[in-house]
């Protein structure tokens, strides 16, 4: 795989070339995903549930993210690697800079943080220090108790307008990518069109520039209740490699997510 950087992804948005992303947490899966052509990998704090067995992302630490980032980077040296800043690791500028530097030094190209306009001063400072930042709005798992569970966001006009406002403010503050999670497809389409930066969706319809899935969801090995926007690509494709190829092609062609997997 050619080396993927933020300019590559920006160019794809400009040309309306959709791209697939996936979470990974170790060397072996990262290598497999990269070999099959996945250009973007997220070391997500979803590892709190998928790897550590917690019921939320809250217990994940910066050291956890560092560890898994190093492993993924070794397996996938050319992918664009995003790593989450975990819960309460960026509550002020000093903490954000300190923790971001550790994760970037572990191999990440970009860090991802959850929240809206309350993060503007953090994003501005990180950007001033040449750190690539990905925003994350809509359903934000680090706020799950505050949101009273995993629910679709932006259903009312007031809530939708707030999400649009946050997206525009985050871009102005300096983010270079945005994740939209669990919002109506119509809303994500508007945001994707209004923003000049790449927008990745998860449970946000098929009009975003890219899509991301948690690898366990894509492979059909998630425990408990299956979320509406997740699809098991392994069940009909015979091997993990074929499942990844099918996912990539479905995203590129705008087939996934269809209405069945959207709100």
- Catalytic residue numbers read 181
Residue 165 CA to residue 94 CA, distance in Å, equals 26
- List the structure tokens of 142: 């680090």
The interaxial angle of helices 120-128 and 157-173, nearest 10 deg, is 20
Bridge partners of 42? Answer: 23, 82
Rg for the chain, CA atoms, rounded: 17
> E strand or H helix at 210, and its extent?
strand 210-213
**What separation in angstroms does the CA of 217 have from each of 105, 124, 125, 232, 259?**
29, 34, 35, 6, 18
Residue 133 CA to residue 240 CA, distance in Å, equals 30
Nearest to 33 by CA among 247, 260, 253: 247
């Amino acid at each position: 795989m050619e080396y993927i950087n933020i300019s590559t992804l920006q160019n794809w948005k400009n040309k309306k070339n959709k791209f697939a992303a996936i979470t990974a947490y170790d060397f072996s899966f990262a290598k497999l995903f990269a070999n099959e052509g996945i250009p973007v990998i997220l070391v997500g704090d979803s590892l709190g549930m998928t790897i550590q067995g917690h019921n939320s992302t809250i217990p994940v630490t910066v050291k956890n993210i560092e560890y898994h980032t190093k492993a993924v980077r070794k397996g996938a040296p050319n992918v664009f690697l995003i790593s989450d800043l975990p819960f309460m690791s960026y509550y002020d500028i000093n903490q954000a800079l300190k923790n971001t530097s550790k994760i970037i030094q572990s191999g990440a190209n970009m860090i991802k943080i959850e929240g809206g306009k309350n993060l503007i001063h953090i994003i501005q400072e990180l950007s001033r220090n040449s750190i690539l930042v990905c925003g994350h709005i809509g359903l934000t798992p680090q706020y799950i108790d505050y949101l009273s569970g995993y629910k679709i966001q932006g259903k009312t006009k007031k809530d939708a307008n707030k999400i649009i406002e946050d997206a525009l403010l985050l871009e102005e503050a300096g983010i270079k990518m945005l994740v939209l999670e669990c919002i109506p497809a119509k809303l994500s389409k508007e945001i994707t069109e209004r923003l000049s930066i790449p927008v990745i969706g998860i449970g946000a319809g098929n009009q975003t520039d890219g899509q991301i899935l948690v690898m366990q969801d894509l492979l059909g090995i998630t425990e408990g209740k299956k979320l509406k926007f997740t699809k098991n690509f392994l069940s009909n494709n015979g091997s993990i490699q074929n499942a990844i190829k099918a996912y990539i092609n479905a995203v590129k062609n705008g087939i996934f997510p269809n209405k069945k997997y959207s709100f």
